[in-house]
A and B are shown apart, each in its own frame.
Chain A
Amino acid sequence: MTASTERRLMEGSEAIAEAAIAAGCRFFSGYPMTPFTELLEHFARRLPDEGGACINAESELEAIGQAWGAAATGARAATGSTGQGLSLMQESMSEITRAEIPIVVFNMARGQGDYYQATRGGGHGDYRHIVLAPESVGEAVRITQEAFHLADRWRHPVLIYGDYLIAHTAEAVSIEPIDFATKDPLPPKDWAVDGRLGGTGRSRNVNPIGMEKGSKGIDPNRFWQALSDKEDRIAAAEQRWEAIGTEDAELLIVAFGTLARFARAAIRDLRAEGLRVGLFRPISLWPFPSEALVRAAAGCRRVACLEQNAGQMIDDVRLALLGSVPVVPIGGISTDPAGFGIGALLDAERIAGRARDAYHGREVPRGVVA
């Protein structure tokens, strides 16, 4: 289908692929892996019609290399995998970030265990890249388009942290191209290579170590400091979050991605019982919206960190709050026998139960949910 305002029931993978194409993505490369596979299928089916290319890469190493090359010519390009495949891509993620190449990378993750990998700069060296975590297919459609804009805006990779539920849930969505550039004009891609400057003395070298044409040696010190300074500017400008019911909250639940939707339902029930519970949902996992969390948590007795892992985001929550409010984990490892991250914690009643315990200062169960 072509982009239109028509609302249609669409699986998340298809909706994301359509959103990417609507945003101008013309290159995609990937290696099949559940629950990322369908994203690759949709790009493979759709991109040729749009004058683009989708390559069934021979490995994740090659998938990201191909996206790297496509993006270096100025095209909007993307790749992705699940967390395991993302691990294979991390060497390139590091170098691409330092070569300042704007690409979009999807982690259709198996649960939330890749938070560290996503937010800490999962590869070697000193770097961070933008990480956006949608909670629904509808939000993924918007965030996917925004990701391409932010990548070009900052010449920086953007990772979209999705999961099995985003990839495989069908929602009614419409795919309309969103114009971000009118309000926030993009810089020209005067760094990209098209071959046309060869022999003019102004040819380019898109590289991650600060090599400059016409001068021997490199200055990684200056080059990487400039990158670090840019990441500071991104951190200040691109924090995104949603805060609900935080004005009067005694207990603030912090959750990201699809798990936040379950938290949302739990909070509705808890509110109905008269418990003053709020939700803080980081949408940008890096940069983490620390100041907004501090504001949201002001006046709370406790902050409950809900995540489907052994405790990763809780580090960022505690770093943000610096001990001003007690932080308790109410999530834990919770997956299905295949390891896809479809665990018993994805249950509003169970989350409400844990939140109730936290609210009343009782001990909250941890780990595997029976």
Chain B
Amino acid sequence: MSGDRDAEGVGAGDPLRVVPTDAPPSGACRRKGSFTPSLTLMGEHDLCPGCGEPLALRQILDSIEALGQAQRAIGVVGIGCYTALTSLMDVDLIQALHGRAPSVATGAKRMRPECLLFTLQGDGDMVNEGLQEVIHTAARGENVTCILLNNGVFGETGGHMTATTVLGQRTKNSIEGRDARLHGHPILIGDLLARLDGTAYVARASVHDAAGVARTRRFLDRAFTSQLKGQGFSFVEILTMCPTGWFIPTAEGPGYLDRELGAVHEVGELKKDGVLVGG
């Protein structure tokens, strides 16, 4: 593809054969996956290298498409880095205030019950600023799907502590690591919501590796399906990398996510069909 400036960069005499990747194969083949996710207007975005949010976005959009909801979906988007992704999403959207997406989704769903309503929020948006919105929306059993992209920091402001930052995690305003005595404890929002009677489906996923991304997709499919069945509030929390906000190299993001955040915000389904898993 365009952009290669130095096609001769691979050392001569390399024992491994490098396969060209600038054009589709010439022989008989089957395309298994395309560059951009379903329901996108373009593939480029300005999020940082190594960001986990576009991985989650792909699964959300692919799930909507696969469930046949492309022409019934309305997304309500909060304020965070992911807000920039709205320009490439080819689904109807309402841009909400920081934290307020669950209420906006509630109003939209009441007037358009035939639509698949989902929110897209970060941890600062949902668990800090808008905690009561998501809790009340869940408690009412509002038939919408709230999606949390949880990276444990305010990424857009440059890596500040949120309500989901784990103990010991260094952020710009917990520079020696989050200390419960000084900064309080993280909120495990998925666990909290699962306890409410209004929630039908609650799951936590992580995009730290390909299996995790595939699991994210399964959980999203189940959450949307729960909404389509009219079961009530559904919730998918997706742990995402933020190497910029964590001040680590991009390649270390997935490991850090799994080891640090994943150890506290444990991946798995918490509630299915209105019944607590293992409860």
**A interface, CB within 8 angstroms of B:** 26-27, 29, 53, 55, 57-59, 61-62, 65-75, 77, 91-92, 95, 99, 193-201, 203-209, 211-217
Contact = CB atoms under 8 A, between A and B. Distances in A.
Residue from A67, A196, A208, A215 whose CB has the most chain B CB atoms within 10 Å: A196
Contacts of B71: 195-200
Interface of B: 38-39, 41-42, 44-46, 64-65, 69-74, 76, 84, 86-97, 100, 102-112, 115-116, 132-133, 136
Given A70-B110, A200-B90, A206 B95 contact: yes
B90 A65 contact: no
Given A203-B90, A204-B92, A206-B95, A66 B104 contact: yes
A310 B46 CA distance: 51
Please give me the 10 A-B residue pairs with the lowest Cβ-Cβ distance, nearest first.
A69-B107, A65-B103, A207-B95, A70-B107, A69-B104, A66-B107, A193-B92, A69-B108, A199-B70, A198-B91
Contact of A199 (B74, B90, B95, B111): B90
Given A27-B110, A205-B93, A212-B87, A69 B103 contact: yes
A193 B93 contact: yes
A29 B107 contact: yes
Nearest to A62: B103
A317 B233 CA distance: 51
A195 B107 contact: no
Contact of B108 (A73, A92, A211, A216): A73
B95 A66 contact: no
B111 A73 contact: yes
Contacts of A213: 41, 86-90
A67 B92 CA distance: 18
23 contacts: A27-B111, A58-B136, A66-B110, A69-B76, A69-B96, A69-B104, A70-B107, A72-B107, A73-B107, A92-B97, A194-B74, A195-B92, A196-B72, A198-B70, A198-B71, A198-B73, A199-B70, A199-B91, A203-B89, A205-B87, A206-B94, A213-B89, A216-B84
Given A66-B107, A203-B91, A195 B41 contact: no
A311 B93 CA distance: 43
Contacts of A92: 97, 100
Given A62-B136, A198-B90, A205 B95 contact: yes
B104 A72 contact: yes
Nearest to A95: B97
A203 B103 CA distance: 22
Contacts of A59: 132
A34 B31 CA distance: 64
B111 A53 contact: yes
A199 B42 CA distance: 12
B45 A26 contact: no
Residue from B41, B45, B76, B95 whose CB has the most chain A CB atoms within 10 Å: B95
B94 A72 contact: yes
Contacts of A74: 111
A178 to B, nearest CB: 23
A27 B103 contact: no
Contact of B115 (A62, A194, A211, A215): A194
Contact of B133 (A65, A195, A201): A65
Contact of A77 (B45, B86, B107): B107
Residue from A53, A55, A205 whose CB has the most chain B CB atoms within 10 Å: A205
Contacts of A29: 107
Contacts of A201: 41, 90
B72 A61 contact: no
Contacts of A204: 92-93
A192 B70 CA distance: 17
B112 A195 contact: yes
Residue from A29, A200, A208, A214 whose CB has the most chain B CB atoms within 10 Å: A214
B227 to A, nearest CB: 13
Contacts of B132: 58-59, 62
Given A195-B71, A198-B39, A67 B107 contact: yes
Given A62-B103, A195-B116, A214 B41 contact: yes
A216 B45 contact: yes
B249 to A, nearest CB: 26
Given A69-B108, A73-B112, A198 B87 contact: no
Residue from B72, B100, B102, B103 whose CB has the most chain A CB atoms within 10 Å: B103
A206 to B, nearest CB: 5
A203 to B, nearest CB: 5
A65 B125 CA distance: 14
Contact of A211 (B42, B87, B91): B87
A65 B103 CA distance: 5
Contact of B107 (A68, A206, A211): A68
